[in-house]
Amino acid sequence: MRRLKAGVALFLLLSLQVSIFAHLRPFDVAPDVLLVAAIVGGLVGGGDFGARHGFVAGLLLDLVVPGPFGLAAGVYGTVGYATGLFSRSFDSQDPRVVPVLTGLASFVAMIVYGFGLGVLGSEQFVEWHLVWVAFAVSVYSVILVFPVQTLYGWVMADDGTAARTDSARSVVN
């Protein structure tokens, strides 16, 4: 049931990304709600769930946005996994952890995505403008993390902490 809910959540967020957030461009940078979904997937479900969820979110974005196919899937999957592993070392009850971790993870993800575009031949992304884009996306992500986290509370309502223990077992073993 959790997979079905996660699919519904990703489809909803993809629809919002394509219809609203792609055209909502304050400071000439569009928010990336699917990146927030990958990060929150890692936060609420652990590293394994974050990796799978981030990969699918990036793959969906790759299907609708022009650019090198698979780059977003790789970056979002990696960020989801890293966020899931990194979040285990913090107190999850502290209300500052989620927005700070989301802001940092989305900043790093945008820098890595920009360098990936540069490696694949889009040198206009490897400039100082990339830092501005990464900063703006991280600010938007901090704002968007609260409604996305509420949505993922609904997605994870069936299992509780089962995904975290599965993730911890797979890393240790």
User: Taking the CA atoms of the chain, what radius of gyration do you get in angstroms?
Assistant: 15
Total domains in the fold of the chain: 1
For residue range 87-137, list pLDDT tens digits in order. 888 766 677 888 999 999 999 999 999 888 888 877 666 677 888 889 999
Structural domain includes residue 168: no
Per the listing, tokens 């996306």 go with: 137
For residue range 25-76, list pLDDT tens digits in order. 888 888 999 999 999 999 888 889 999 999 999 999 999 988 789 999 999 9
Query: How many Å separate Cα 61 from the centre of its chain?
Result: 11
Structural domain includes residue 49: yes
Range of the domain at 76: 2-21+28-162
Distance CA 13, CA 33 (A): 7
Cβ 58 vs Cβ 76: under 8 Å: yes
Distance CA 125, CA 121 (A): 9
Which range (21-25, 28-32, 82-86, 155-159) has the least confidence? 155-159
SS3 56: helix
Distance CA 173, CA 166 (A): 11
- End-to-end, the C-alpha distance of the chain in Å comes to 27
Q: In this structure, what CATH number is given to the domain that contains residue 44? A: 1.10.1760
